[in-house]
Amino acid sequence: MSSSSGGSRPVVAVLDYGSGNVHSAVKALDAAGADARLTSDRALVLEAEGLVVPGVGAYQAVMAALRSSRGDELIGRRLAGGRPVLGICVGMQVLFERGVERGVDTEGLGEWPGVVTELEAPVLPHMGWNTVEPGEGSRLFRGIEHERFYFVHSFGARQWLLDVQPPFPQPVLTWCDYGEPFLAAVENGPLSATQFHPEKSGEAGIRLLANWIDGLSRATL
């Protein structure tokens, strides 16, 4: 897909599948340099330079909404073709095999092995600003390695179980600590995700989205 009429803003589809709080993500992506479009149009979702999968609420509800809208198929097709996808918050969590919330065990998208479970912390939810520890070579956190980001969650991925063998590049893992370490972000080929909300993280969040958008042109060459 060609960029917008400006010629320099890559088209980023924000998947509209019924999850709340998506308009702030669209505004943040626009501010970061994308031509962001909230859409459920299958052709646009597949053809856009980038796809953002937001997620707010319970793991089970997000997965049900994705499956009922066939969003899970669209995400899988994009990744099979090496097309960039960015998951945010529960949009990151559903990329793992399963999520267990309050006794409910839900099958996820299975892009990564592992289970999303409740954090072991004295106070939940983990809500507010926190620092992260970006993995070596991170593109998402380039220039913002020491910034703080905004989290709102009680569940997370507390282990990374994917074993990647050469010649495939090792995923870049970014960790955060709240009661215990959990994954704050993953960069794994065309698939990236953040547990925090870039669209609520001020200038640092905009810069992270801009770093991701900058990578879209390389991914589609």
- Res 8: pLDDT: 84
- Find the mean pLDDT for residues 159-173: 93
Q: Supply 114's token pair.
A: 């592992």
pLDDT digits (tens, 9 = 90+) for 182-199: 999 999 999 999 999 999
pLDDT at residue 19 is higher than 90:
no
CA distance linking residue 212 with residue 193, whole number of Å: 10
pLDDT digits (tens, 9 = 90+) for 80-115: 999 999 999 999 999 999 999 999 999 999 999 999
Give every CB contact of residue 192 below 8 A, 6+ residues apart in sequence: 84, 85, 86, 87, 140, 185, 186, 212
Task: Tell me if 208 sits within 8 A of 194, measured CB to CB.
Answer: yes
Task: Tell me if 93 sits within 8 A of 156, measured CB to CB.
Answer: yes
In sign, the C-alpha dihedral spanning 187, 39, 149, 56 is negative
The structural domains of the chain, ordered by start, are 11-219 (3.40.50.880)
- Res 1: pLDDT: 46
- Find the mean pLDDT for residues 166-170: 90
pTM for this prediction: 0.95
Residue 69, classed as helix, strand or coil, is coil
Q: What is the 3-state secondary structure (H, E, C) of 157-171?
A: ECCCCCCCCCCCCCC
CA distance linking residue 79 with residue 90, whole number of Å: 18
| Gap between the terminal Cα atoms of the chain | 12
Active site residue ranges: 89, 197, 199
